[in-house]
Amino acid sequence: MRNNLQFYIDGTWVQPKSTTVIDVINPADESVVGQVALGDASDVDDAVSAARKAFETYSLTSIEERISLFDRIIAAYDKRVSDLALAVTDEMGAPQWLSEQLQVTVGVAHFQIARAALETYRFDEPLGTSEVVREPIGVCALITPWNWPLMLMAAKVAPALAAGCTVVLKPSEIAPFSGTILAEILHDAGVPKGVFNLVHGDGRVVGNALTSHPDVDLVSFTGSTAAGIEVARTGALTVKRVHQELGGKSPNIVLRSADLASAVEGGVAQMMLNSGQNCSAPSRMLVHADQVAEAISYAKAAAETWSVGHPSSNAKMGPVASEAQWNKIQRLIQSGFDEGAKLVTGGLGRPDGLDAGFYVRPTIFADVRNDMTIAREEIFGPVLVIIAYSDEEEAVRIANDTTYGLAAYVQGERVAAEAIARRLRAGQVYLNNVSLDLAAPFGGYKQSGNGREWGPMAIAEFLETKAIIGFREAA
């Protein structure tokens, strides 16, 4: 049993003011794998107060001091890789291979990238007779979800600390274990007290207390668009900066010039990774009408190689993270049937032989119109839809016909794919099934959010700009 019953505030582990404790459910078998304490507004007050006090000194640290701190954080993280991988598997059901090879490694990568960015980042620069100074914004509330817990926490904590800010982190109460270990890592690395604080809790109580707190200067939130709207509304009451990475319904345009088998198989693999629980997943595959039948054949074969099973097995895919998520996915699969889509593979219910746990069949629908529910709503599960287009103009129109704009994908001859990429309304466009670039800015257009994470540009999100006029003599 993993008991996460304390919070990390002002450099030490403390008892919560609240007495509320909930069970953490292992999605692989529905057993109780631990407990987590849920904080309240008074716990948030303590954490924010500690962060505010620490900001007075940490904001003045030199670049060299922060680089040294990041070196210690990376070294401490490396010592806990095995612990982190086990925690992620327990809390959100990621297969062991995925936890070890991706979930944990992308977490430390964000600290490494932020550390490298500090070596060349220009916090001050001349402009006419003025000096433009970029200073840390202040106390930052970081609210993260459960699907890539380490990556999403590190993607916020690393640039905030690099900028000179102090933070209060609220991980998902569904997947709290890795957040607790991250706090232990930062403590062991010697992060000054109050610079990093951790309060567990739910969005309704702790999340709301953070977003409405008058001493919080910035909120960085990753989650659903509906929740993001509430965060923005609450944050507006104190005119704080709100940075959001929200939902997606990303198109994957397969051009006629693409190697069809490779493009389709790669798209299926990117869709099924992490049980489809990826905000930037290529969930709408757009294929030329003349190639749809062949693409369906490739997609079916590819999806059926994605074995589903317990995280400790050799299966490619584990469960989704919770019963609520499983129920949502089943409802949306049913909507595909109800609205006339054609099931290619997968469908409702658990895969054969898996009677417990929140397992979903890798599912593909064809004959999908872009106005169907399964083409409009973010399913956040291993469900891919195939949509036919008649020409490239229609492909671009369908791709952009969504309230989201987090990511997009294009497969095909390089020059043509690049031209299409420039026309897509999305924060990231992936060409020819390329892998992640964690140094590239990540964030969305439209209702996929605002602001950017990852890489050097993420640091800018945690800075304010000051002009010192008359700093230089006129030429």
334, two tokens: 């049913």
Positions in the chain short of pLDDT 50: none
The Cα–Cα gap between 187 and 292 comes to 54
Predicted local distance difference test score (pLDDT) of residue 16: 97
The Cα–Cα gap between 198 and 11 comes to 10
The Cα–Cα gap between 441 and 65 comes to 25
Q: Residue 475: which residues within 8 A CB-CB, separation 6 or more?
A: none
Q: By 3-state DSSP, what share of the chain in percent is helix, strand and coil, each rounded to 5?
A: 40, 20, 40
- Identify whether the C-beta of residue 264 lies closer than 8 Å to the C-beta of residue 294: no
Degrees, nearest 5: CA angle 427-431-434: 100
Predicted local distance difference test score (pLDDT) of residue 473: 83
The amino acid occupying position 145 is P
Other Cβ atoms closer than 10 A to 457: 17
- Identify whether the C-beta of residue 422 lies closer than 8 Å to the C-beta of residue 253: no
pLDDT digits 0-9 by tens, 232-268: 999 999 999 999 999 999 999 999 999 999 999 999 9
Q: Length of the chain in residues, anyone?
A: 475
Residues belonging to the active site: 245, 279
Predicted local distance difference test score (pLDDT) of residue 475: 67
pLDDT digits 0-9 by tens, 83-112: 999 999 999 999 999 999 999 999 999 999
The Cα–Cα gap between 395 and 292 comes to 13
- DSSP letter (8 states) at residue 316: S
